[in-house]
Chain A
Amino acid sequence: MLRYQENNELHRNFHGSTDNAMRFVEKTCGQEALREVLRQTGRDVYKSIREKLARGDASELIEHLTWFYYRENAPFKLEAGENEIRFEVLECPAHKQMKKMGLEPAPFNCLQTEEVNAGMCEGTPWTSSVEHIAPGHCVQIFRKEPSK
């Protein structure tokens, strides 16, 4: 079950605000600082997902990915196995919305996916990575260390 239940209207322009916030932190504090804030967001805001991953339960992570990309009308493919989850996003809703707003995503915009996912996995048997296929098209991969 999701910790944050969101069912109401969407304000998609917040994707532009996220990009703007990332640009400010990167410009004033550097890219490592930006990674730190994003990772902290993954670790602390998504504590519930992280704690379940630590117990070997990926259910909330899967629900989180599918629900929020579905809400934003993103085409995606999910392959979920016991030790690996592959979540392919065919058209990133954040990039799509920014294009609609006439904004160019920062060159480091995708760090939000990489680092928030890494934060969710911190201290758990899971690791995350992102394969970038094309602009707005990526595969988010979560792998669990096989049980010994």
Chain B
Amino acid sequence: MIPSDHFVRFYNEVFKYLDKRGLLQAYFDDIGRYAAGRNLEKFRKGGLQAVYDYYLVIRKEENCELDMELKDGEYHQRMNKCPSLSKVLDNDASASPRYCLHCPGWTLPVYTAAGLYMVYDLMEPDQPHCESWLYDDPQRALAKYRELCKKIPAQRIKTNLPKSLLEE
């Protein structure tokens, strides 16, 4: 058995293997389907509050140093120390340079299906922190996206906002 404590180090090996074969995005999509099966209905019905409640459990069980705030139609989270990437970096095997992408990789399709809009600042992929904002109003997400575009390099930003809105 791979201990649940060590899952992310196995995950990292899977990422490296699939990345070499051009299958990483297909795997992220698969994780999204797996996660949707467990969370989509909750997110669809409960909206931002359901996502907040989900991350309350994750913060505890995964030992995240995570600031969370749900206020006035915005769910903002700041990961100060991501336990997942921290373990992957504290590892005798090498880290996948695309490790961080799994997070938006699975969450964005689930949020899209739930009618929620995420704007993600991935920051540095070799540092265990990131920041994100989630809305049920696409115009508010668009405003946050534009605000971030003025401040940080575009490659750090991930969003599930429809292309039609981004190109307006």
Contacts and interface: CB of A to CB of B under 8 A. Distances in A.
Q: A and B, one complex?
A: yes
Nearest to B21: A29
A133 interface: no
Nearest to B62: A11
B91 interface: yes
Contacts of A24: 14, 18, 27, 30
Contacts of B7: 11, 14-15, 17-18
Interface residues of B, number: 34
A140 B144 CA distance: 53
B93 interface: yes
Given A18-B10, A20-B30, A41-B10, A112 B62 contact: no
B17 A25 contact: yes
Contacts of A44: 13, 92-94
A113 to B, nearest CB: 5
Contacts of A8: 63
Contacts of B17: 25, 29, 33, 36-37, 40
Contacts of A28: 18, 23, 26-27
Contact of A9 (B1, B38, B63, B93): B63
Contacts of A94: 1-2, 4
Contact of B23 (A3, A29, A47): A29
B3 A71 contact: yes
Contact of B92 (A3, A17, A29): A3
B45 interface: no
A40 B13 contact: yes
Interface in B2-34: 2-11, 13-14, 17-18, 21, 23, 26-27, 30-31, 34
Given A20-B34, A41-B13, A93 B18 contact: no
Interface string A22-46: 0011001100010011101100111
Given A14-B4, A37-B13, A47-B93, 9 more contacts: A13-B61, A28-B27, A33-B17, A41-B9, A41-B93, A44-B92, A45-B91, A45-B92, A94-B1
18 contacts: A3-B92, A4-B9, A6-B6, A9-B60, A14-B8, A16-B34, A17-B7, A24-B18, A25-B17, A28-B27, A41-B10, A41-B13, A45-B92, A46-B92, A68-B3, A71-B5, A92-B1, A97-B4
Q: Which 7 residue pairs spanning A and B have beta carbons closest together? A: A14-B7, A44-B93, A68-B3, A47-B92, A11-B61, A6-B5, A14-B4
Interface of B: 1-11, 13-14, 17-18, 21, 23, 26-27, 30-31, 34, 38, 58, 60-63, 87, 90-94
Interface of A: 3-4, 6, 8-18, 20-21, 24-25, 28-29, 33, 36-38, 40-41, 44-48, 68-69, 71-72, 89, 92-94, 97, 101, 112-113, 116
